[in-house]
Structures are given as C-alpha cells and as structure tokens.
Structure 1
C-alpha cells in the first residue's frame, strides 16, 4: 500500500526552511487533525501521513523526513517497535511519540526516551484536540531543535583518525551531557563508575521537566551511587550524582574557602534546551580546571560544544561517545570534529578510561 500524502501540504517556498514532518497514526481523524494543525504553521511542512508502522518505514526510505510524529498504539508494529528502526536511519530522524495511554513522565515514556525518542506527548482522544493541547504540542515540537541547530549528524570520526588531545591526568569531577539516545548510554557509563568514584558527577540530560524525578530514580536503580536533583545553593558532594533539574541549567560556584556549591541559572543558550549542557561544562571548567572531565553522549545538535571548548581552555579533558553506539552523533560528533576530544569511545570504555586515569593519580 502506498503511503497517504497529508491532506494539507505546504507550498515548497514556504516550507524551504521548515521541519519536514511525517504523521503516523492508525486513526484517519487524528492524521487529518494533526496535519491541519501543523499545516497552518509555517515552521512545519507536513510531507506525509500514514496509518501504520510498516508504512512509516517504507515512507522514510524514499522521502526526506526531519521529524516523525508516531502513535504509540497501532495494529501490527506499535510505536516502541518502530522507534529503533527509525532511529537506525543514517539521517538521524527525530521521533516524537504520541500516546493516549502512556502518561507523560511515566516509566514507559522514559523507556521510549531511552530508546531514542526525542519526546513523548500525551494525546487526547480523536476529536478532542483543544486549542490548549495544540499550543502545547507546537511548543514541544519547535523546541526540539532550533533552526540554527537543525544540521545533520556529522560524518563519523573514529579513534584512529581523529585529532585527539592528550587525556588529562586528573579527575576531580566528571560532567556528563546527553540528549536523544543518551539515557541508555548514561546508564552503561554510570554502571562502570559505581564502587570506584569518590569524585562528584554532574549530569545534564535533555528531558522534559516532568521526567526528571523518574530519571533520577532510574539512575538510583542503575548504580549504587547516591543521586540528587540539583538545587540552588546545594553543597556538592563527592561520590554523588547531581542531576540538572528540568527548568534550569546546572552550574557551579566556589567560595573563598574552596567549598563548591550548585548554582542554577536560566541564561539563554544558543540551543534552546532546558537544561543545557554548555552551562554545566563551563561551570565545571571554571571550578575544577585541569581536573574537569567532560563526557558528551548521543544527541542531536551541538549543545556541549562551547562548554567543551571552555573545559579544554582550562586544561581539562573530554571524551565523546563513538558514532557506532550513538543514536544521534550530533553532539559528540561536533566535539570530536572540533578536535576537543581526548578519546572517542563506547560508554563502557568511557567509564574504564575515567577510572583508569583517576586511579593513576589517586
């Protein structure tokens, strides 16, 4: 069966810089409503609307797609089965799951995000798309990747061919940033650090604010290290994971006695993410200098690049997740391509390198 073309296409001229969207839902009513809503917004170009996961996979093979709005519950392949197949596409398509049964902030929703979904949005029943829901959906979609960051994944660079910097010989603090596909990599990395780390660990993961508590709980399950959601003024604790909250950036401050504490900021960042990786990396560079180790995991865009530069300038060092294990190599790829990384490795090997460097001078 040929995929159905969306009922409300946008003209090529108006869509030239728009996000190309594919709608996947077994309800014809939902497909038409969502196509109409997005078709009336010049920031989107609805390129197609199909009824099944199989049709979606066929469609993306032959059409340029930036974003897939994917129904969670469908006959045949459901959203969670289709998601990894879409994420395997070399173009690194963004996927937002729409679900009438999967509550935003639920464990199932976080599982979808760990598998590579950019967001999960609770969907009202067909015919109940209120103006408030439409505004909510549009706001979530346009903040996924700002236009200036909507670039394709950088070409792969491996450990053998990259311009690598020497690894640092100190580990006083580790800051880990990730986005799409970063959660599963982060779990593996942290599992490799548990029982070894007495240095503070800071984490910024691009997530909607209502997922942060559950994300922190999953981190607690994945490691024996204590986990806290960062609060302004909180004293930094060695051997503890400090997670950036959903509505502010995590940064750091040091007083005259050398005590380090959390500072939450709402500074505007190029990438538009809350929380963003750049302020965390910059704060770690400022406070820990040559003892700062930054890790950049799977994610679209270039958040973390400016902060990585700050770490490098202060004598710290960085590790990028490799292309093969990343769902999206935009964030780690940008750091690797800039020649800022000391290593380009899979998550477990990242943990091994950090522990090896820490033990060498401990």
Structure 2
C-alpha cells in the first residue's frame, strides 16, 4: 500500500525533525514536505496535495490558526495542530478545533525522551484515525453514488421536472465560519430506536424550528420549541458509594490512597436552581468534540431545566480554555468543574483534564461534583464511563446520556448499563456528522441508544425530551 503523504509545518527546524521522525516510524506515512510558517504551508498544500498536515499553532508571518482557516476554505483535508501549553497556545488550539482541525497534540518536551515517545504514539493514533475516517466517508460516498446511478432519473416521471444534482463527495470538511453557518446544510434522517418491549413513542406534537434556525434577540437565543419528530426506523436492539454530603465536606470525601483533588468551594447557602433537582444530562465526547459541543450548547436555551455534565477527552489546562470558549456563545452558563460544586439547572460543567468527574448525591435534592485522580480508564482521565457509572445509583433523577464524536469506545459500556437500568433517554451522534465514528458506534452496536441523530438535531431533540 502506498504511504500517506504528510506535510509538517513548524517554525523550529529541530521540532520539524522530531515530528518527521515520529511520523515516519509508522510505515503507513511519509513526510512529503515541510514548511516553516503558515504561508509556506499554503503553498505546499497546493503544490503537493498532501493527505494530512501537522500544523504548529504559533508561527511568524502567518500563524497556524490563519493557515488552517485558508486550508479549510480552499483545500479541505485533515489537520492536526501542535500546541504549546501557554495560555495563548491553548486558546488558539480551541479555536482551531472549532474551525475544522481534526485534533491536536501538545508539543513534546525536547529534553524528555519518554515524553517525545508518548507524543509520537498519540500523533500516530490520530493520523490513523483521520485516514480511516476519510476512507469511511469515501466508501459511503461511492455507495451513495452507485445507488443514485441505479435509480431511474426523475425526468422519467411525466410532469415532474428533474431534481438538481446532489453534491459529490462524502461529509464535507467544515470550513472556518461563524457558528450559525457551521452546520451542514442538509441533515441526514434521524433514527429513534425504541427499547425492546417498550411502547412505540406517542405521536409528535406541533413542529418547531429546525436546529440552528431560531433567531437571537439581543444576543440571546430564545427557548427552543419542540423539534419535528422524525420517522421511526425500528431496530432490534456494583453501585458506587455516595461519598459526599454537605458541600463544605466535599474535600474530605476522598477515599484513602486516592490522590489529592483541587480544593472544594467554600460552604454557602443553596443557590437558586440547585435545590430539588429532578433531571440531569451527561455528555461524553472526544476527537471532534469541541466543535460538536459548540453546536450542542449554542442550541440549548438558558432556562434549560437540568444541569449538563460533560467529559471531553483533553489534557489539563486545555479544558479551562474550552469551557471559557463554550461559555462565550452558549445561552447556558458553561464552566470548568471544580470539586464540591453544587449542580444547578441551566449550567454546563466541563470535567477538568487529568481528573475523573462524578456526580454524587448530597441529600435534600442536591447533587455535587466529585473529582478524583483514580487510574485512567479506557486510556482516559477524565473518562466518560466513570461519569456515566456515577449516575447509576441516582435513580430518583431523570437521567439522559449523550455520546458524540470520538475515537475508541469510552462511554459505551456504561451507557449500556444506564440503558438497562431504565434511564429516560440515550443519544448518539450518527456517522454522517461524526469526525470519528468510534464512541457513538460502540454504543449503537451495544443496542443501548434510543435516539441516533445528526449533530445539529441532538440539541432540539434533547430539549424536547427533557422538557
């Protein structure tokens, strides 16, 4: 098999050499060229048409963010960003992921050989995932084209004008555009998968606006109405201890031998919306997640009657930048979670990188965040499975679980456990809109998903179900 061609972009000659060596240790990839800045990268993309690009975030003349924007507009292809750990680099990395980058890795420490090897392993995993995702899209496109060519032309029906031609290719790579135009123009059909033995869902009510179409007034999106129900496609389909009670004792809830956690928030009177919670939404995502979370959260109204707890696979410090970015456009209040935070409606909590996040009952209808440094699970900390598992004993809550784009299978096993325990609803992003159809596919294969939807339809349906 001919190796995939990679363009390596970095203003440091030493870093270009390190990244090139890490890439070519996998025989499936070859470094076809290197570039020292964003402008040179644009020229090389046009010249050699690589299969994939690794792009430094911070460079002179034209930085990685601007170069990515132009690549997505003119020659869309997978781009993996290389980010420093300073605040500027982290902020620009989040913008790059939102703007169409496949994923990112942090730059390795040049004085630490073990760190270089770990970064190389992560980089090669992402490159292979990007190529597999591309091949899956091309296969779907070829299958769709074959079906279209076998169908009789529309013009053969008397009195019916021919339909305009469908666009060629698979799922388009999203260019860097404002949020409202970042959604695909045509949504694939949604699937609702009823549980075996359960009644068919009731007939839909009045149709509401499609996702992304609700007008904003004064910069705030009005509460979403019920989304139009889609046709049904039938398809065969140990309790953790509640360690915390009052908020001021949250820091003492750490089990013996567990690594320390961040300091808890000081005790305070219950805030509005924290007492008597009845509903909870938990979301898990990985590769492609920042953009998926943006689409999800900007379409959920600020008066949403439940807290949303989120695990996004991401290193420490980057999750704070992600939460700040999500908070800048979502009607919800979005923040990085802290140990001991009391959950309240209309708020989204992003698990901090390097910590598992759990939800624990405090009594009196209140629930709080618990952060731990337990071993990585499924190769991740935070882990979606850890979050979902913490929801199992919270039977008095109406629980909703969501899995969106990402590599691997984190979250699927515990979504199955929640489904078997009778949670209210489970959601998975469908293949057509996933950057990587790994985590959602694992859940679908376990037959534990009640709603399989394209990304832009998840928020309206979630709002409808929760309300």
TM-score, normalised to structure 1's length? 0.72
Query: What residue is the counterpart of 1:78 in the other structure?
Result: 67
* 8 Å CA contact retained: 1:194, 1:224: yes
Correspondence list, 1:63-102, <5 A: 69-72=54-57, 78-82=67-71, 95-98=79-82
Query: What residue is the counterpart of 1:197 in the other structure?
Result: 304
Work out which of the residue numbers 100, 103, 109 in structure 2 matches 1:118.
103
Query: Structure 1 CA distance, aligned partners of 2:372 and 2:5?
Result: 33
* 8 Å CA contact retained: 1:305, 1:334: yes
Query: Structure 1 CA distance, aligned partners of 2:437 and 2:364?
Result: 40
Shift of the 310–265 alpha-carbon distance from structure 1 to 2, 3 Å rule, reads: farther
Q: 1:94-130: per-residue Cα shift (whole Å, max 9, x none)?
A: x53236899664332111122243214358xxxxx83
Work out which of the residue numbers 111, 116, 126 in structure 2 matches 1:131.
111
Give how far 1:227 is off: 2.5
Query: What residue is the counterpart of 1:11 in the other structure?
Result: none
Give how far 1:202 is off: 0.5
Give how far 1:314 is off: 1.9
Correspondence list, 1:280-295, <5 A: 280-288=387-395, 291-295=398-402
Shift of the 101–83 alpha-carbon distance from structure 1 to 2, 3 Å rule, reads: farther
Query: Structure 2 CA distance, aligned partners of 1:321 and 1:197?
Result: 21
Query: Structure 2 CA distance, aligned partners of 1:164 and 1:84?
Result: 40
Query: Structure 1 CA distance, aligned partners of 2:363 and 2:429?
Result: 36
> Which one is further off, 310-319 or 263-272?
263-272
RCO higher in structure (CA 8 A, sep ≥6): 1
Correspondence list, 1:1-362, <5 A: 22=6, 24-25=8-9, 29-30=13-14, 31-36=16-21, 47-51=30-34, 52=41, 54=45, 58-60=49-51, 69-72=54-57, 78-82=67-71, 95-98=79-82, 105-114=89-98, 115-122=100-107, 130-132=110-112, 135-143=114-122, 152=132, 164-165=194-195, 172-255=279-362, 257-288=364-395, 291-316=398-423, 317-359=425-467
**For structure 2, which runs of at least 5 residues remain unmatched after alignment?**
35-40, 141-187, 203-277
Query: Structure 1 CA distance, aligned partners of 2:456 and 2:190?
Result: 18
Shift of the 273–85 alpha-carbon distance from structure 1 to 2, 3 Å rule, reads: farther
**For structure 1, which runs of at least 5 residues remain unmatched after alignment?**
6-19, 124-128
Q: 1:192-226: per-residue Cα shift (whole Å, max 9, x none)?
A: 21234121110111222121222111121122322
| SS at structure 2 position matched to 1:78 | helix
Query: Structure 2 CA distance, aligned partners of 1:230 and 1:357?
Result: 25
Query: Structure 2 CA distance, aligned partners of 1:271 and 1:144?
Result: 18
CA RMSD of aligned residues (A): 4.2
Give how far 1:59 is off: 4.1
Larger Rg: 2
Shift of the 207–33 alpha-carbon distance from structure 1 to 2, 3 Å rule, reads: closer
Give how far 1:287 is off: 1.8
Shift of the 27–199 alpha-carbon distance from structure 1 to 2, 3 Å rule, reads: closer
Aligned residue pair count: 322
* 8 Å CA contact retained: 2:110, 2:116: no
TM-score, normalised to structure 2's length? 0.57
Query: Structure 2 CA distance, aligned partners of 1:272 and 1:239?
Result: 31
Shift of the 337–107 alpha-carbon distance from structure 1 to 2, 3 Å rule, reads: same
Give how far 1:344 is off: 1.4
Shift of the 254–43 alpha-carbon distance from structure 1 to 2, 3 Å rule, reads: farther
Shift of the 344–130 alpha-carbon distance from structure 1 to 2, 3 Å rule, reads: same
